[in-house]
Structures are given as C-alpha cells and as structure tokens.
C-alpha cells in the first residue's frame, strides 16, 4: 500500500515544491500531502502514517490517529518539542545528515581560523583605516573546546584536529565543565537546546574562561544569556563572539549584536539542511517504518534531543 505522508511547517510558505521533488525521487512509492492538500484530497486523517516537518506551527500534528513517525528536516527539535500538542507516543526523528555536519564543520573552521589569526580584528582595522599587524600564532597554540559531541560536534573536531588545533570535547555526561573552560580560548557551541542546556553560557561560564577567550555559537540562541555575553565582551574579558543563532530570529533591528565591534553575526546559516542529501535520509527512515525495521536518529523525549 502507498504510504501517505504529511508535509508540515516552514517550507509551506515558500512551497514544498523543491522538497517534494527530492522526496519523490528518493521514495517514489509514497504520496505527500500538505494539510490543505489532505483536506482537498478526500483522504481521512487516519490515512497519514508519517509526517515530515520543518518547525511546524504548534498544533500541526494533532488529529492524526495513525501517525507512527515524525521526521524533522531540522537537526534541532527544540521548537517541535515545545509544542504541547505533539502526540506523546509517536517516535520523533532528528535530521542527521553527513552533508549538514560537513557544512557545520566548515562554518566552525572559518570561525576558529579567523579567531586564531585575528582576521576579525583586521576587518575592524580596515574599517578604521589602520595598517597594523599583530603577532602570528600557530594552530598548535590554540585550544578549542567543542560543546556537544553528536554528529556535528564530531565533524567539527575531525575538521579542526588535522590543522593542529588542540581540540577538547564536552558533553553533558557528568564531566566537569569548568576545568575545560579554564583551558580553552575558543568555545564552539553545538549542544542541543534542552532544559539542561538553556542559559548554560552565562556570566559564570564566561568567567571560567581565560581572559581573551572567544565564543562561537552555532547551536541555539537560548543557550546564551545575552546580557551576560555583552557584559563579558564589554569588560574585555571575552575578545569576540561569532553568533549564528539568537533568542529571537530574525534578530530584531536595533539589538546590540548587530553593530557590536566584537560580534560577527550570521543569519542562522551555519548549516542548512541540504535537500539533496537529506531527502535520502528521510526516505531511509520512512522505508524502515514501512518495513518494520529500527528507526534512525530517534529523539529521547526525556533527554529532549
Ligand atoms: C538548524 O538550526 C537545525 O536545527 O537544523
């Protein structure tokens, strides 16, 4: 029997066309419906067995009694889990795609390299019309801490280590964080956003870093206490922050981060889901569902990632 799959969430505005073409090519034996199309199709909600979602508006997955898998196109599922109407017993899968991890590793590499060699400082000097060199350091002298050692954290580590950077990793498994912070000058955050990691990067966290350290946040804005970050930058304790993610996105005009000389910001693009490869990841999980095989990349609702 043909699998009937709901498409829910963000791409709806721009149209699911691009995704649909990729998904149909990866799984020709399925049929794909947005809510509007489902309504018009004459199918019943119980015909839907799975949903492929990208930050769907709260309530999008209600009223589907036969739903057996929610597959996210996003790596982070914090917004999805925040939906109180999410059916509690339906398995939920995150996007884990080596191409997405590779993109994340490129962004981390760019940030670490620019911080290590002081290229952001040279950018500032250009704007000021200043011709002025600073000391050049070796990668071997730079200690990087990667927070979160999932697929992306591992990819970042594997990208940085061959260049000579001294990379440490930390995950929330009871390993004390403070000694690692004291020995790190660049922190790359790739943690999932959970009740346990929300606000982790706060005044205490920054104070545990050596003076002149920098932060690279590629995970979620809510990991950071913004006022504490700004205070640490302004006090000169932190040198620079590279921020891809914010409490509110798009970052509202007028927020201090937009024009702060010690902040480099990106519009949440550190690693976009690549439809070309992610469609195959989705198809593999949907086939596993159909065939009664184990599902991949399942979220633990207790852990919240
Ligand atoms: C992007 O932030 C994602 O979670 O995929």
CATH hierarchy code of domain 98-265 = 3.40.50.720
CATH hierarchy code of domain 3-97+273-291 = 3.40.50.720
Q: Are 91 and 292 in contact (CB under 8 A)?
A: no
Cα separation of 190 and 181, whole Å? 15
User: Can you tell me the mean pLDDT for 253-277?
Assistant: 96
Q: Are 64 and 87 in contact (CB under 8 A)?
A: yes
**Residue with CA closest to ligand 1 atom 2:** 76
CB of 76 closer than 6 angstroms to any ligand 1 atom = yes
What residues does each domain of the chain span? 3-97+273-291, 98-265
How many Å separate Cα 28 from the centre of its chain?
29
245's tokens: 């993610």
Burial class of residue 84 (count of CB atoms within 10 Å of its CB; 0-12, 13-18, 19+): exposed
Tens digit of pLDDT for each residue in 102-152? 999 999 999 999 999 999 999 999 999 999 999 999 999 999 999 999 999
Q: Is pLDDT above 80 for 11?
A: no
Ligand 1 centroid distance, CA of 137 (Å): 33
- Establish whether domains 3-97+273-291 and 98-265 are of one fold: yes
How does DSSP classify residue 58? T
Can you tell me which atom of ligand 1 is nearest the CA of 268? 2
Cα separation of 190 and 43, whole Å? 41
Ligand 1 centroid distance, CA of 140 (Å): 31
Mutate to test the pocket of ligand 1, among 76, 193, 222, 249 (most ligand atoms within 8 A of CB): 76
Tens digit of pLDDT for each residue in 13-56? 666 888 999 999 999 999 999 999 999 999 999 999 999 999 89
Which residues, listed in sequence order, are joined to residue 9 by a DSSP beta bridge?
54
CB of 74 closer than 6 angstroms to any ligand 1 atom = yes
Tens digit of pLDDT for each residue in 89-104? 999 999 999 999 999 9
φ, ψ of residue 223 in degrees (nearest 5): -70, -20
Cα separation of 27 and 12, whole Å? 20
Mean pLDDT of the chain: 96
pTM of the entire structure? 0.96
Ligand 1 centroid distance, CA of 14 (Å): 18
Ligand 1 centroid distance, CA of 75 (Å): 5
Q: What is residue 13's predicted lDDT score, i.e. its pLDDT?
A: 60
Tens digit of pLDDT for each residue in 161-200? 999 999 999 999 889 999 999 999 999 999 999 999 999 9
* Residues with catalytic function: 220, 268
């Amino acid at each position: 029997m043909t699998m009937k799959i709901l498409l829910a969430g963000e791409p709806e505005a721009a149209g699911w066309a691009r995704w649909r073409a990729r998904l149909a090519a990866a799984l020709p034996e399925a049929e794909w419906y947005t809510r509007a199309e489902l309504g018009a199709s004459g199918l019943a909600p119980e015909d839907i067995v799975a949903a492929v979602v990208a930050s769907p508006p709260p309530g999008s997955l209600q009223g589907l009694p036969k739903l057996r898998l929610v597959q996210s196109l996003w790596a982070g599922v914090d917004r999805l889990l925040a939906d109180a109407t999410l059916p509690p017993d339906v398995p939920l899968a995150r996007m884990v795609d080596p191409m997405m991890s590779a993109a994340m590793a490129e962004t981390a590499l760019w940030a670490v390299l620019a911080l290590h060699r002081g290229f952001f400082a040279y950018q500032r000097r250009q704007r000021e019309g200043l011709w002025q060199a600073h000391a050049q350091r070796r990668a071997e002298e730079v200690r990087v801490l990667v927070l979160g050692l999932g697929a992306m954290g591992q990819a970042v580590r594997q990208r940085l280590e061959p260049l000579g950077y001294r990379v440490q990793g930390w995950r929330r498994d009871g390993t004390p964080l403070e000694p690692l912070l004291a020995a790190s000058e660049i922190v790359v955050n790739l943690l999932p956003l959970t009740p346990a990691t929300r606000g982790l990067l706060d005044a205490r966290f920054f104070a545990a870093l050596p003076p002149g350290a920098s932060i690279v946040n590629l995970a979620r804005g809510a990991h950071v206490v913004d006022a504490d970050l700004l205070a640490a930058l302004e006090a000169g304790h932190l040198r620079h922050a590279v921020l891809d993610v914010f409490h509110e996105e798009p970052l509202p005009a007028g927020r201090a981060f937009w024009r702060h000389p010690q902040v480099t910001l990106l519009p949440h693009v550190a690693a976009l889901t690549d439809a070309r490869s992610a469609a195959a990841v989705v198809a593999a999980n949907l086939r596993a569902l159909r065939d009664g095989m184990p599902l991949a990349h399942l979220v633990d609702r207790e852990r919240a990632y």
